């Protein structure tokens, strides 16, 4: 849900401390020299996560700054393995924050909203962004998701429902069935109101001499009358079919989640 928006709201995932830790990158994200990845494009040199410690931090051996002054001498292969995929996602995630926080005012807003760790200062952030934008690091491409900026939630839901056949969508936007009925019945009620207005206008037109004897208007009135009779029950029935399908889907999703949790609890109890 990072950089996904809907009207009057945008979702941002806070930047975790571990993505600012050099040791975490070398142990969990950057491919090891023995990795099975192969490819022509590689990167070597310093990692873009370096902090110049202050005098207070140098004198305090117990302090654990979020950015560590270490260097990576290994090479990163461009062929995607699972670990390399995670590394590209993390790099793209950091790059998105470099685009979001460009001025000190942005930095203050992000910290006030708890999007950045409190140990990161504006000086540290500028150094991190400078190294992220360094030419050496441009050889690493972020995950394809970060080729785009913010994504609209209703379009993601439409893609999931039409292309992937997932009725729940990318994110289920209804917390209660009441909100589901309100949001989806409102367009049907609006269309029915418009149909009533058109039928009233046609009735007035048929009462006039000029339109009452017009065969084309007579045929249009007849067709629209039949349409107005069949339209409301058809779409209401279609709406309740959709509701029933979603209701059954929610039941199966709940039972599946319950089964998964019971299995996890059983495994944890067995390990203990």
Using a 10 angstrom Cβ sphere, with 0-12 exposed, 13-18 middle and 19 or more buried, the burial of residue 147 is: exposed
Same domain, 158 and 184: no
Range of the domain at 101: 4-53+65-162
- Looking at the 3D structure of the chain, how many domains does it have? 2
Please say if the pLDDT value at position 54 is more than 70: no
| pLDDT for residue 115 | 95
> How far apart (Å, rounded) are the C-alpha atoms in residues 15 and 88?
15
Residue 141 domain-assigned (yes or no): yes
Spatial neighbors of 114 by CB under 8 A, at least 6 apart, are 14
Same domain, 236 and 120: no
Residue 128 domain-assigned (yes or no): yes
Residue 149 domain-assigned (yes or no): yes
Which pair of tokens denotes residue 249?
């889907």
Residue 170 domain-assigned (yes or no): no
Kind plus residue range of the DSSP H or E element containing 9: strand 9-11
| pLDDT for residue 78 | 47
Same domain, 49 and 89: yes
Collapse the DSSP code of 102 into the 3-class scheme (helix H, G, I; strand E, B; otherwise coil) and give the result. Answer: coil
Same domain, 152 and 234: no
What pTM was computed for the model?
A: 0.60
Residue 122's pLDDT band (cuts 50, 70, 90): very high
Which of 130, 162, 194 represents a domain boundary (last residue)? Answer: 162
- Average pLDDT, whole number, for the chain? 78
Please say if the pLDDT value at position 109 is more than 90: yes
Radius of gyration, alpha carbons of the chain: 29
Same domain, 157 and 127: yes
Same domain, 149 and 17: yes
């Amino acid at each position: 849900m990072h950089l996904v928006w809907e009207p009057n709201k945008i979702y941002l995932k806070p930047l975790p401390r571990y993505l600012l830790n050099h040791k975490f990158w070398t142990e969990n994200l950057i491919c090891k020299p023995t990795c099975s990845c192969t490819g022509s494009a590689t990167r070597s040199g310093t990692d873009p996560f370096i902090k110049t410690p202050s005098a207070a931090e140098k004198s305090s051996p117990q302090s654990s700054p979020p950015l560590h002054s270490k260097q990576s001498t290994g090479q990163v292969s461009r062929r995607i393995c699972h670990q390399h995929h995670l590394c590209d996602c993390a790099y793209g995630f950091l790059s998105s924050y470099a685009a979001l926080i460009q001025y000190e005012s942005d930095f203050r807003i992000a910290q006030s909203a708890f999007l950045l760790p409190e140990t990161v200062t504006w000086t540290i952030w500028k150094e991190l962004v400078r190294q992220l934008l360094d030419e050496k690091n441009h050889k690493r491409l972020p995950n394809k998701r970060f080729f785009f900026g913010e994504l609209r939630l209703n379009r993601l839901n439409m893609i999931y429902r039409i292309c992937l056949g997932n009725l729940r969508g990318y994110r289920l936007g209804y917390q209660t069935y009441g909100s589901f009925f309100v949001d989806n019945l409102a367009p049907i009620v609006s269309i029915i109101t418009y149909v009533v207005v058109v039928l009233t206008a046609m009735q007035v037109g048929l009462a006039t001499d000029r339109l009452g004897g017009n065969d084309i208007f007579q045929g249009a009135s007849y067709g629209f009358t039949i349409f107005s009779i069949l339209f409301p029950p058809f779409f209401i029935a279609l709406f309740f079919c959709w509701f029933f399908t979603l209701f059954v889907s929610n039941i199966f999703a709940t039972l599946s989640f319950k089964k998964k949790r019971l299995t996890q609890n059983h495994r944890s109890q067995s390990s203990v």
